[in-house]
Amino acid sequence: MYLVLLGAPGSGKGTAGKVIAEDLELAHISTGDLFRENLKNETELGKEAKQYMDKGELVPDEVTIKMLKDRLAKADVKNGAVLDGFPRTEVQAKCLDDMLNEMGTKVDMALNIDVPFDEIVERIANRRSCRGCSEIYNVVFNPPKVEGICDKCGGELYQREDQKPEVVENRLKVYSQSAEELINHYEKAGVLYNAKAGDSVGKTSFDIAKEVEEYIKNN
């Protein structure tokens, strides 16, 4: 099973994706995390990606697509994967269709999590990530047990460069530029699942994950 997560940065797709991947025993592949791992390890790929990431811009398609292709070839993808943050452009979506086609499979569901932008801006401002395992916390709604320390691995929590307000604004702009074509792509393929989340509808990322799992079970 291959599940693609659409939705703006800060929509909670990372959190929902991790829950779904764990429950359905799928690999969780986040291209943002893969880039950050390369950054931490100071690889050539990491150095190249950094200049785009720090500004909230997209890393060029050819670089991102190659990285994803290598990741999909790993053994833990045997049951399928939840793709978090890929595709982000229509070119990437078409490449993904081709890659999966070559593997004899396809995207089974594209989950589009829709959260109002004003809520997203506040959420990202409250967000902290673990330097060790990249677990995500919200200092208001989902704080760690000990301030500044990851519950899972004891790593240091920090605010990513691209979670700062001026970069967030640009990331949302970049997202808006390609959101519609991605949504149309998966709507045409008949695999789009729309979910509204956030305070205004009283639904968390965990609620969305459970709703989607229920839907998958019954379809």
Compare residues 35 and 193 and give the one whose CB is closer to ligand AMP.
35
What residues contact 205, with CB distance under 8 A and at least 6 apart? 12, 13, 14, 15, 16, 19, 113, 197
Compare residues 83 and 192 and give the one whose CB is closer to ligand AMP.
83
Cα radius of gyration (the chain): 17
Q: Give me the residue whose beta carbon is nearest to ligand AMP.
A: 32
Paired sense of beta strands 109-114 and 2-7, if any = parallel
Contact 88, 4 (CB under 8 A): no
Contact 131, 28 (CB under 8 A): no
Which single residue is written with the structure tokens 């060029």? 60
Compare residues 90 and 151 and give the one whose CB is closer to ligand AMP.
90
Confirm whether 160 is a catalytic residue. yes
Confirm whether 128 is a catalytic residue. no
Confirm whether 171 is a catalytic residue. yes
Residues 101 and 107: their CA atoms lie apart, in Å, by 9
Chain residues in the site for ligand AMP (CB under 6 A): 9, 31-32, 35, 52-53, 56-59, 64, 85-86, 88, 92, 162, 171
Task: Give the distance between the most distant pair of CA atoms in the chain.
Answer: 47
The token duo for 180 is 């519609």
Annotated catalytic residue within 36, 71, 127, 128: 127
Compare residues 31 and 202 and give the one whose CB is closer to ligand AMP.
31
Annotated catalytic residue within 18, 71, 123, 160: 160
Annotated catalytic residue within 18, 36, 71, 88: 88
Separation in Å, CA 65 to CA 11, 88, 99: 23, 11, 10
Least gap, CB of 218 to ligand AMP (angstroms): 29
Confirm whether 127 is a catalytic residue. yes
Compare residues 175 and 193 and give the one whose CB is closer to ligand AMP.
175
Residues known to be catalytic: 13, 88, 127, 160, 171
